[in-house]
Amino acid sequence: ARVNNGSVGSDFLWRFLMSILKKWLGFFVLCATMNVACAQSFDNLTPEASANLIKANENNMEFVLLDVRTPEEYSQGHLKNSINIDFYSTNFSAELGKLEKNRTYLVYCRSGRRSASAAGQMKSLGFTKVSNMLGGINQWLQEGRPVEK
Protein backbone atom coordinates (compact mmCIF):
# COMPACT_ATOMS: atom_id res chain seq x y z
CA ALA A 1 0.00 0.00 0.00
CA ARG A 2 1.14 3.50 -0.85
CA VAL A 3 1.49 6.06 1.89
CA ASN A 4 0.41 9.51 0.74
CA ASN A 5 2.24 12.20 2.63
CA GLY A 6 0.78 14.89 0.39
CA SER A 7 3.98 15.45 -1.56
CA VAL A 8 3.50 16.25 -5.24
CA GLY A 9 6.92 14.73 -6.02
CA SER A 10 6.10 11.38 -4.43
CA ASP A 11 2.76 11.23 -6.26
CA PHE A 12 4.53 11.86 -9.57
CA LEU A 13 7.12 9.22 -8.72
CA TRP A 14 4.39 6.73 -7.81
CA ARG A 15 2.55 7.27 -11.13
CA PHE A 16 5.85 7.04 -13.03
CA LEU A 17 6.79 3.73 -11.37
CA MET A 18 3.32 2.30 -11.95
CA SER A 19 3.46 3.23 -15.65
CA ILE A 20 6.81 1.44 -15.97
CA LEU A 21 5.43 -1.59 -14.15
CA LYS A 22 2.41 -1.72 -16.50
CA LYS A 23 4.69 -1.49 -19.55
CA TRP A 24 6.89 -4.32 -18.27
CA LEU A 25 3.84 -6.43 -17.49
CA GLY A 26 2.52 -5.80 -21.01
CA PHE A 27 5.93 -6.69 -22.44
CA PHE A 28 6.00 -10.01 -20.56
CA VAL A 29 2.46 -10.88 -21.66
CA LEU A 30 3.44 -10.10 -25.26
CA CYS A 31 6.56 -12.28 -24.97
CA ALA A 32 4.55 -15.17 -23.56
CA THR A 33 2.03 -14.84 -26.40
CA MET A 34 4.81 -14.75 -28.99
CA ASN A 35 6.41 -17.88 -27.53
CA VAL A 36 3.13 -19.77 -27.76
CA ALA A 37 2.69 -18.62 -31.37
CA CYS A 38 6.27 -19.57 -32.22
CA ALA A 39 5.83 -22.99 -30.67
CA GLN A 40 3.04 -23.64 -33.15
CA SER A 41 4.79 -22.20 -36.20
CA PHE A 42 6.54 -23.94 -39.07
CA ASP A 43 10.15 -24.06 -40.20
CA ASN A 44 11.35 -21.91 -43.09
CA LEU A 45 14.03 -23.72 -45.07
CA THR A 46 16.33 -22.48 -47.80
CA PRO A 47 16.30 -24.47 -51.05
CA GLU A 48 19.62 -26.01 -49.98
CA ALA A 49 18.18 -27.12 -46.63
CA SER A 50 15.06 -28.30 -48.46
CA ALA A 51 17.18 -30.38 -50.85
CA ASN A 52 18.94 -31.93 -47.85
CA LEU A 53 15.58 -32.71 -46.23
CA ILE A 54 14.31 -34.27 -49.46
CA LYS A 55 17.44 -36.39 -49.83
CA ALA A 56 17.29 -37.53 -46.20
CA ASN A 57 13.66 -38.61 -46.72
CA GLU A 58 13.79 -40.07 -50.25
CA ASN A 59 12.69 -43.52 -49.01
CA ASN A 60 10.42 -42.23 -46.24
CA MET A 61 6.76 -42.85 -47.05
CA GLU A 62 5.82 -40.43 -44.26
CA PHE A 63 7.48 -37.50 -46.06
CA VAL A 64 5.35 -35.42 -48.45
CA LEU A 65 6.40 -32.73 -50.91
CA LEU A 66 3.41 -30.43 -51.31
CA ASP A 67 3.28 -28.01 -54.26
CA VAL A 68 0.54 -25.43 -53.71
CA ARG A 69 0.79 -23.75 -57.11
CA THR A 70 -1.92 -23.92 -59.76
CA PRO A 71 -2.12 -27.06 -61.93
CA GLU A 72 -0.81 -24.97 -64.85
CA GLU A 73 2.25 -23.90 -62.87
CA TYR A 74 2.76 -27.47 -61.66
CA SER A 75 2.72 -28.82 -65.22
CA GLN A 76 5.53 -26.42 -66.19
CA GLY A 77 7.88 -28.14 -63.75
CA HIS A 78 7.74 -29.44 -60.20
CA LEU A 79 9.86 -31.24 -57.64
CA LYS A 80 10.07 -34.99 -58.17
CA ASN A 81 7.43 -36.99 -56.27
CA SER A 82 5.50 -33.87 -55.21
CA ILE A 83 1.73 -33.70 -54.97
CA ASN A 84 -0.24 -30.66 -56.09
CA ILE A 85 -3.05 -28.92 -54.23
CA ASP A 86 -3.96 -25.54 -55.70
CA PHE A 87 -3.77 -22.82 -53.03
CA TYR A 88 -6.27 -20.73 -55.03
CA SER A 89 -8.80 -23.57 -55.24
CA THR A 90 -12.09 -22.99 -53.43
CA ASN A 91 -11.67 -26.36 -51.72
CA PHE A 92 -8.04 -25.89 -50.67
CA SER A 93 -8.73 -26.22 -46.94
CA ALA A 94 -10.89 -29.29 -47.53
CA GLU A 95 -8.09 -30.87 -49.58
CA LEU A 96 -5.59 -30.13 -46.80
CA GLY A 97 -7.99 -31.76 -44.37
CA LYS A 98 -7.74 -35.03 -46.32
CA LEU A 99 -3.99 -35.26 -45.70
CA GLU A 100 -2.52 -37.21 -42.77
CA LYS A 101 -1.57 -34.72 -40.07
CA ASN A 102 1.27 -36.75 -38.54
CA ARG A 103 3.38 -36.92 -41.71
CA THR A 104 6.32 -34.60 -42.45
CA TYR A 105 5.51 -31.95 -45.08
CA LEU A 106 7.72 -29.68 -47.15
CA VAL A 107 5.48 -27.07 -48.79
CA TYR A 108 6.53 -24.93 -51.74
CA CYS A 109 5.06 -22.64 -54.38
CA ARG A 110 6.48 -20.21 -56.94
CA SER A 111 8.04 -17.63 -54.61
CA GLY A 112 7.30 -18.79 -51.05
CA ARG A 113 4.29 -16.63 -50.24
CA ARG A 114 1.49 -19.12 -50.90
CA SER A 115 3.47 -21.95 -49.31
CA ALA A 116 4.07 -19.90 -46.15
CA SER A 117 0.36 -19.20 -45.91
CA ALA A 118 -0.45 -22.86 -46.62
CA ALA A 119 2.05 -24.01 -43.97
CA GLY A 120 0.40 -21.70 -41.45
CA GLN A 121 -3.02 -23.09 -42.33
CA MET A 122 -1.69 -26.61 -41.97
CA LYS A 123 -0.33 -25.86 -38.50
CA SER A 124 -3.67 -24.35 -37.49
CA LEU A 125 -5.38 -27.53 -38.73
CA GLY A 126 -3.17 -29.61 -36.44
CA PHE A 127 -0.38 -30.76 -38.75
CA THR A 128 2.67 -31.41 -36.61
CA LYS A 129 5.69 -31.36 -38.96
CA VAL A 130 5.48 -28.65 -41.62
CA SER A 131 8.27 -26.77 -43.37
CA ASN A 132 8.09 -24.00 -45.96
CA MET A 133 10.68 -23.65 -48.73
CA LEU A 134 11.85 -20.03 -48.83
CA GLY A 135 11.94 -18.48 -52.29
CA GLY A 136 9.81 -21.26 -53.75
CA ILE A 137 10.59 -23.08 -56.95
CA ASN A 138 11.94 -19.85 -58.45
CA GLN A 139 14.83 -19.85 -55.96
CA TRP A 140 15.20 -23.62 -56.34
CA LEU A 141 15.67 -23.21 -60.10
CA GLN A 142 17.93 -20.18 -59.70
CA GLU A 143 20.25 -22.40 -57.66
CA GLY A 144 20.35 -24.90 -60.54
CA ARG A 145 18.32 -27.61 -58.84
CA PRO A 146 16.33 -30.17 -60.88
CA VAL A 147 12.59 -30.28 -61.60
CA GLU A 148 10.50 -32.67 -63.63
CA LYS A 149 7.62 -32.09 -66.00
Q: Could you give the residue numbers annotated as active site? A: 109
Cα–Cα distance between 127 and 53 in angstroms, integer?
Answer: 18
The CB density around residue 91, as the number of other CB atoms within 10 Å, is: 11
Cα–Cα distance between 134 and 94 in angstroms, integer?
Answer: 25
How far from each other are the two terminal CA atoms of the chain, in whole angstroms? 74
Cα–Cα distance between 102 and 86 in angstroms, integer?
Answer: 21
